[in-house]
Amino acid sequence: MKILNSPSEAITYRKTLNGSVGFVPTMGALHEGHLSLIEKAREENDFVIVSIFVNPTQFLPGEDLDKYPRRLEADFEICRRAGVDAVFTPAPENMYTNDEVLIKAPKVKGYILEGFNRPGHFDGVLQVVNKLFNIIRPTRAYFGKKDAQQLYLIKQMVDNFFFNIEIVECETKREKDGLALSSRNIYLSEEERKRALSISKALKRAAKLSSKTNNIEKIKKEMIEILDVDELQYIAFVDRDFNYINEIKPGNTIILIAAKVGSTRLIDNIFI
Ligand code: AMP
């Protein structure tokens, strides 16, 4: 497995590849969720490239950039075992210059929900994904539905900028008890983890109720009763294009939650 430490190394390596390239962008601290994306990419492409880059521009001041888990050697081993051809792990100073051309997330859908609670977050995400796409030039790129709004905005960027890349949507991997896997779960104490579970429970309950009623207020009320978090940032009901909806539309609804448990911010969602 090749380790590519700079954009120029990655660009040179990419030129040697003859065949389809599956690309999995990550921030590392790899878990089974990431692995499911890598495995899918492995099945569907001649070559698989994973990037591991804790992208500074998508963190807001005061967020967990400095303490974000970094486990490069363990991540390499996971990638090796999964049959990854190359890992791209650049230093921030090789990815960014001082006074850059910037990409802005769309004014509405980039600034609601995650974008409202983390203003500028999606500008940073789109900026780095744009760079990564140009460096790796993948045939297909794999993203998790766990970050549903991110996935939506990346698909929009691909359309708006005419990238010739297929975006592959991957299901959210969960622990046996339902907790969505996340690199940030390691921040949770045992007690907090138990309460974090109320997020996936509330979503599961909402999905069940949705088969009986379209009434969002009724569903939301039950979700709030189940939730045992310290700060509920939002419960939102949107269609697949991230327009707010007034009632459940089966087959075209996403229910999303963002909440803090202790000081850890968690997001999860369910597609109805
Ligand atoms: P991250 O390293 O958190 O930036 O995530 C990298 C990619 O893995 C993103 O496309 C995420 O949506 C995806 N991902 C994160 N957690 C999960 C999960 N539990 N199941 C599936 N995909 C995930």
- Domain of 142, CATH number, reads 3.40.50.620
Mutate to test the pocket of ligand 1, among 32, 34, 181 (most ligand atoms within 8 A of CB): 34
Confidence of residue 176 (pLDDT cuts 50, 70, 90): very high
Please state, rounded to an integer, the average pLDDT across all residues of the chain: 98
Determine whether the shortest distance from the Cβ of 70 to ligand 1 is under 6 A: no
Residue 214 has phi, psi (to 5 degrees) of -95, 0
Range of the domain at 18: 2-170
Determine whether the shortest distance from the Cβ of 181 to ligand 1 is under 6 A: yes
Determine whether the shortest distance from the Cβ of 172 to ligand 1 is under 6 A: yes
C-alpha neighbours within 13 Å on the C-beta side of residue 178: 15
Q: For residue 212, how far is its CA from the centre of ligand 1 (angstroms)?
A: 31
What is the position in ligand 1's atom list of the atom closest to the CA of 147?
A: 12
Task: Identify the domain boundary among 170, 197, 226.
Answer: 170
Q: Would residue 114 count as lying in a domain?
A: yes
Average pLDDT over residues 157-171: 98
**Do 196 and 89 fall within a single domain?**
no
Q: Which tokens sit at 72? A: 């490069």
Q: Would residue 202 count as lying in a domain?
A: yes
pLDDT tens digit sequence for 2-14 = 999 999 999 999 9
What gap in Å lies between CA 65 and CA 265, rounded to an integer? 13
Determine whether the shortest distance from the Cβ of 33 to ligand 1 is under 6 A: yes
pLDDT tens digit sequence for 26-75 = 999 999 999 999 999 999 999 999 999 999 999 999 999 999 999 999 99
Catalytic residue (choose from 21, 26, 30, 34): 34
Contacts of 182 (CB under 8 A, 6+ apart): 31, 33, 146, 266
**Do 57 and 124 fall within a single domain?**
yes
**Do 42 and 157 fall within a single domain?**
yes
- Of the candidates 184, 220, 181, the residue with the CA atom closest to the CA atom of residue 202: 220
What gap in Å lies between CA 250 and CA 82, rounded to an integer? 36
- Say what angle helices 216-226 and 190-210 make with each other, to 10 degrees: 160
pLDDT at 23: 99
- In angstroms and rounded to an integer, the radius of gyration of the C-alpha atoms of the chain is 19
Q: CB–CB of 124/58 below 8 Å?
A: yes
- Give the H or E element holding residue 270: strand 264-271
Q: CB–CB of 272/254 below 8 Å?
A: yes
Determine whether the shortest distance from the Cβ of 238 to ligand 1 is under 6 A: no
**Do 93 and 139 fall within a single domain?**
yes
31 is catalytic: no
- Percentage of the chain modeled with pLDDT above 70: 100
Q: Would residue 178 count as lying in a domain?
A: no
| Residue 22 DSSP code | E
Q: CB–CB of 47/19 below 8 Å?
A: yes
Task: Identify the domain boundary among 147, 170, 193.
Answer: 170
What gap in Å lies between CA 181 and CA 199, rounded to an integer? 12
Determine whether the shortest distance from the Cβ of 147 to ligand 1 is under 6 A: yes
What gap in Å lies between CA 165 and CA 162, rounded to an integer? 9
Q: What is this structure's pTM?
A: 0.98
**Do 162 and 242 fall within a single domain?**
no
What is the position in ligand 1's atom list of the atom closest to the CA of 181?
A: 19
Q: How many domains, the chain?
A: 2
- Domain of 199, CATH number, reads 3.30.1300.10
- Of the candidates 141, 112, 116, 144, the residue with the CA atom closest to the CA atom of residue 129: 141
- Of the candidates 54, 51, 48, 56, the residue with the CA atom closest to the CA atom of residue 132: 51
What is the position in ligand 1's atom list of the atom closest to the CA of 28?
A: 2
pLDDT tens digit sequence for 214-251 = 999 999 999 999 999 999 999 999 999 999 999 999 99
pLDDT at 261: 98
pLDDT at 115: 98
Task: Identify the domain boundary among 124, 140, 170.
Answer: 170
Confidence of residue 180 (pLDDT cuts 50, 70, 90): very high
Average pLDDT over residues 172-191: 97
Q: Take atom 17 of ligand 1 and give the residue whose Cα is closest.
A: 33
Q: Take atom 10 of ligand 1 and give the residue whose Cα is closest.
A: 143
C-alpha neighbours within 13 Å on the C-beta side of residue 235: 20
What is the position in ligand 1's atom list of the atom closest to the CA of 173?
A: 20
- Percentage of the chain modeled with pLDDT above 90: 100
Average pLDDT over residues 100-116: 98
**Do 40 and 117 fall within a single domain?**
yes
**Do 55 and 126 fall within a single domain?**
yes
